[in-house]
Chain A
Amino acid sequence: MSRFFRMTYALAVLAALAPGQTGRAIAQPPASEPEDLLVFAAASTKDAVDEVLRSFAESRPNASVRASYGSSAALAQQLQLGAEADLFLSANQRWVDALEEKGHVASRHDLLGNRLAAIVPADSKLKLTAPEDLLSDRVQRIAIGQPDSVPAGIYARQALTRLGLWERLKPKAVGSADVRQALAFVETGAAEAGIVYSTDAAISKRVKVAFALDEKLSGPIVYPLALMKQARDKPAATALYEAFQSDKAAKVFRRYGFSARGLASDDMP
């Protein structure tokens, strides 16, 4: 993972050292095979997106879809440097906004919603039922995503700030490179508690949910799906963009604990 980030960063540095050159230096050659698709998606959506892509491939046999998963920030950096992805499913709005400002986005749609949950190790004897309980001396470390860059951490800080707890809890907060690392901190008992997405909490048997954090506190957690500008004229890319918004895909995402925003029937508070 770290090598991947370092490579991403090496590319970013090269771009920074040669301003104005990057657009052309990593120019996008015309796609030779229009049915070849590349999807970038936030790590937290991997299992569900894999399933959606599988069923898309079945319905469109001559399309070959590859997916790259990572932190939304790293993927967005690659896209800014001209990575030729057709679709980007980001864990927060900020990165898609930044890409849109630079004119990389053809179309976007708020696809998914998620929630935050406070978790403790599965064998923990701590009684945490409300956010104030995190102030207890028995909680020495709270694992969250890095609160300036990792979306899950940004949301967690926002929720704790609205509760008036952030300043007091800040010294206990341990930032992580992505939300799954925060999960690992709690799984190993390195941190007594953590705040992650409820979808992440659900996939681990080694943690249990102590309490959920309301969306009113964290602010809406939205995963926008972006159709990238370079994919505008690819019929397969548009088809996949629509397939992500179909009822069928919504069912898959709901099964993994996301709320699918694409449908009118699914009311988000």
Chain B
Amino acid sequence: MLTAEEWSALRLSFQVGVCAVLASLPAAVALGYALARWKSGGGWRLQAIQGLLQLAIDLPLVLPPVVTGYLLLLLLAPGGPVGSWLQSWFGVRILFTWRAAAVASAVVSFPLMVRSIRLAFHAVDPRLEFAARSLGASRLDAFFTVSLPLARRGVVAGAILAFARSLGEFGATMMVAGSIDGQRTIPLEIYTLVNQPGGVETSWRLVAISIALACGALAASEWLERRQSLRESA
């Protein structure tokens, strides 16, 4: 049904998407929670830090992906600040491997995940946490037994949205992962096919798969978020 290249692209896209989401989920939950619970008062310093943090998180959402990719390329290059560190400490080279695609996907989809998670925590009534704390739960206990379970649908919705964004990531991925046989995600494979004469016709299966995956992920994330807000209003 699918050619070897198409299967390989599909498998790699899932691998990249799952790794990107799993690797960034803990940080996204922590940041989403912090941003949701951050008091709007506080000194101007706190406000400035909060603003800058939000800006840094949201930047990849609006930055041209090629620019994000170029910045990642500079960071991860063997002579770059992160690349040289990884090379000397772990002897790993990230650029032009599937891991680079995962890094690019994680960075680009991170704002979407944090946004959704922040909204989910925002909707959890802080008084429930206070109640748990007053009954003797530690801060961590209250978070893991009260807040996180209540916000779980929003968290999962954010993760699915980020996964969908990862599947579609092209610009930054092309910059850091390159186009290597057997190492192309779905968008990269489509791009390669389309840039050959007659490629529009040969790429239709991957195009159809992309559309189906995107629709499925969007529907799932929408459904979960709706359930979340329904439960709150109930």
Contact = CB atoms under 8 A, between A and B. Distances in A.
Most buried by B among A6, A74, A188: A188
A174 B96 contact: yes
A259 interface: no
A2 B171 contact: yes
Given A12-B200, A16-B200, A170-B181, A177 B77 contact: no
Nearest to A177: B174
B200 A98 contact: no
Given A9-B194, A15-B200, A190-B96, A176 B171 contact: no
A73 B178 contact: no
A141 interface: yes
Contact of A173 (B180, B197, B203): B180
A104 to B, nearest CB: 13
Contacts of A97: 197
B73 A16 contact: no
A94 B197 contact: yes
Interface residues of A, number: 39
Interface in A121-178: 140-141, 143, 146, 148-150, 170, 173-177
Contacts of A184: 70, 73, 175
A1 interface: yes
A177 B179 contact: yes
B95 A141 contact: yes
B200 A190 contact: no
A190 B77 contact: yes
Contacts of B60: none
A150 B195 contact: yes
Contacts of B207: 13, 16
A185 interface: yes
A16 B204 contact: yes
A143 B13 CA distance: 23
Nearest to A192: B78
A73 B196 contact: yes
Interface residues of B, number: 36
B121 interface: no
B22 interface: no
B156 interface: no
A189 interface: yes
A98 B95 CA distance: 35
B73 A188 contact: yes
B95 A12 contact: no
Given A149-B192, A184-B70, A189-B78, A95 B64 contact: no
A255 B30 CA distance: 57
A143 B65 CA distance: 20
Contacts of B143: none
A180 B30 CA distance: 40
Contacts of B192: 146, 148-149, 175
Given A71-B195, A97-B197, A177-B179, 9 more contacts: A1-B64, A2-B170, A2-B171, A16-B203, A149-B195, A176-B174, A177-B174, A188-B73, A190-B73
Interface of B: 64-66, 70, 73-74, 76-80, 93, 95-96, 170-171, 174-175, 178-181, 190-192, 194-201, 203-204, 207
